[in-house]
Structure 1
């Protein structure tokens, strides 16, 4: 199915990226801070919200302003069962990655409500040890992914997914030593992949551009500043089966 998303969830603090997305004709819903999460990631969409078809599953305590905006667009809001806490693994329940018909996550900590919904749609679950799974994967399509996590890369390759493994440390996340490539990117549609900024290491940047070209993706940059982890640019899917 061709993907051409209309609405995107973005950390409200990522003002430059929000402006760039809107200037490209996209609708952006700001995600506001969750009271239980560490401040640097408190408004990261991939920590709080998961969208599947017309359903939006959210962590208890997610901003009412954000949820009201999502509901106004006609999405079915479903509260998850897991109340997030500030430290790992208490903050990973909704941070899953869907690649094709497979769900990748640390399945010991997946929210039960979210898992039940995904099971009803027939997705296959694949365990990875890394709980920040969505943060750690930049998904190009159903068959190609970029990650900095060796454990995730090993599992993805075993599942037949073309995986570009990068060295960690190229993505900035204020408050932490570094962020992750998945949290610094998002797909606008089947053709366009956006990054929040530019990777300073030219060799790494060229590897990403070559991999994207291999998979027929056009890269656009939302800023000429250093790439930054903003908790992913999450599309709200109005797909149907």
Structure 2
């Protein structure tokens, strides 16, 4: 399997990911974005379909990265829009893509992304950093700190753990998003950039994971870091 990570992850984090039989693809720095998120996976890329190994990437990503996708036989399409520094011009790929649902601020969804998802149940939310704000535990269960997303989805059959914001490191900003702190490696294992033992709401997260048979693995023994999600293909 292949995992997409921020180019700034540490050698220790890489070592642990490789021990899980994952090939690492680092998202390169995007000079059009501000420093805190310039390598965030969920800003520059999204997974369209795992079975066919298909992703969408922002149109101006480096040629070297595209060549790596080709090397791993990953199919890709490019965004219609170009990333820019300020909101909302940096959110057009930052959607929550589920099997039967597509969740985003639909006003700002990239048109090439939208065209691949229009047959699903479309759920519009105010929060444009939708994937940043959601940590999926299964296709029907996730964790968020965004009350707007919670209210929009609670009547769609999802099981949602709503947590207060904060206590997540994102260098240069007051705090990061819960959706950016890791991701599912498989249906029974979730990797975290940091330790739930050092997170103020860690016990609640651990209980929610246990409910779905998911075990956490910590890539470093530090507070949780928002690295823009860990996406696995």
Same fold, TM-score > 0.5, yes or no: yes
**Cα distance in 1 for residues equivalent to 2:156 and 2:47:** 23
Residue 24 of structure 1 and its aligned partner are, at CA, apart by 2.2
**Cα distance in 2 for residues equivalent to 1:117 and 1:45:** 19
Distance 1:89 1:202, change over 3 A: closer
Coordinate RMSD, CA, aligned: 1.4
Q: Who is 2:3 aligned against?
A: 8
Unaligned runs of 5+ in 2: none
Unaligned runs of 5+ in 1: 1-5, 237-241
**Cα distance in 2 for residues equivalent to 1:147 and 1:17:** 24
Q: Who is 1:23 aligned against?
A: 19
Return the match for 2:165 from 145, 164, 168.
168
Q: Who is 2:151 aligned against?
A: 154
In the alignment, is residue 46 of structure 1 matched against residue 42 of structure 2? Answer: yes
Q: Who is 2:74 aligned against?
A: 75
In the alignment, is residue 91 of structure 1 matched against residue 90 of structure 2? Answer: yes
User: Could you report, residue by residue, the CA deviation over 1:68-96 in whole angstroms, capped at 9, with x for unpaired residues?
Assistant: 11111112221110111101111000000
TM-score (norm 2): 0.94
| Number of residue-to-residue matches in the alignment | 229
SS at match of 2:60: coil
Indicate if the aligned counterparts of 1:170 and 1:199 stay in contact, CA closer than 8 A. Answer: no
**Cα distance in 2 for residues equivalent to 1:201 and 1:154:** 28
TM-score (norm 1): 0.91
Residue 30 of structure 1 and its aligned partner are, at CA, apart by 0.8
Q: Who is 1:191 aligned against?
A: 188
Q: Which has the higher contact order (CA 8 A, sep 6+)?
A: 1
Distance 1:190 1:199, change over 3 A: closer
Q: Who is 1:239 aligned against?
A: none
Indicate if the aligned counterparts of 1:97 and 1:134 stay in contact, CA closer than 8 A. Answer: yes
Aligned positions of 1:113-132 closer than 5 A: 113-119=112-118, 122-132=119-129
Residue 142 of structure 1 and its aligned partner are, at CA, apart by 1.3
Indicate if the aligned counterparts of 1:10 and 1:18 stay in contact, CA closer than 8 A. Answer: no
SS at match of 1:56: strand
